Homo-oligomer: A and B are copies of this chain.
Amino acid sequence: MTRWLTKEQQSHWRSWLTASTVLREQLSRELQDLHGLTMTDYEILVRLSERETNAIRMSDLATLTLLSRSRLSHQIDRMEAAGLVSREVCPDDRRGQLAILTPAGVKALETAAPDHVEGVRKHFVDVLTDAEYKALGSAARKIADHLEGL
């Protein structure tokens, strides 16, 4: 027997789907218009900048960004052509490759970050009360933990 969603459950599910899709779309458009970056470009720049070496193995970056190896490879090709990252053979494993943040990538991230954070505030954080924001974050954390534990 299929346990169909109730009308209310269905409505919350749709709200979540819409909010997550449209929010990503909006933030991506703002990054694109103001800084010529996609959300995926931005996320990769952030991930790389968080490492002391400014470098991440391509295989680890695929896991972090949830991109397939081949999509990540195209993505990094584009970012390399734009001068934001470079590739190098892993020093400890010649079959592996590293994606490395370039000085231009650091600069692009620093330039885009204030506008991006402003967008996250305007379209996400500031739309909710503190209590609503916390409740949303905690619920999202539980869902993320569940999914990451699969």
Contact = CB atoms under 8 A, between A and B. Distances in A.
Copies in the complex: 2
Interface stretch (A53-61, A83-91, A99-107, A115-123): A115-123
Nearest to A121: B3
A12 B125 CA distance: 9
Interface of A: 2-5, 8-9, 11-13, 15-16, 18-26, 66, 113-114, 117-118, 120-121, 123-125, 127-128, 132-144, 146-148, 150
Nearest to A6: B125
B133 A136 contact: no
A28 to B, nearest CB: 11
Given A16-B124, A113-B2, A118-B3, A23 B147 contact: yes
Contact of A25 (B4, B13, B66, B125): B66
Smallest CB-CB A-B distances: 9 pairs: A12-B137, A20-B20, A135-B135, A136-B139, A2-B114, A15-B140, A19-B140, A15-B141, A19-B143
A133 B143 CA distance: 11
B21 A66 contact: yes
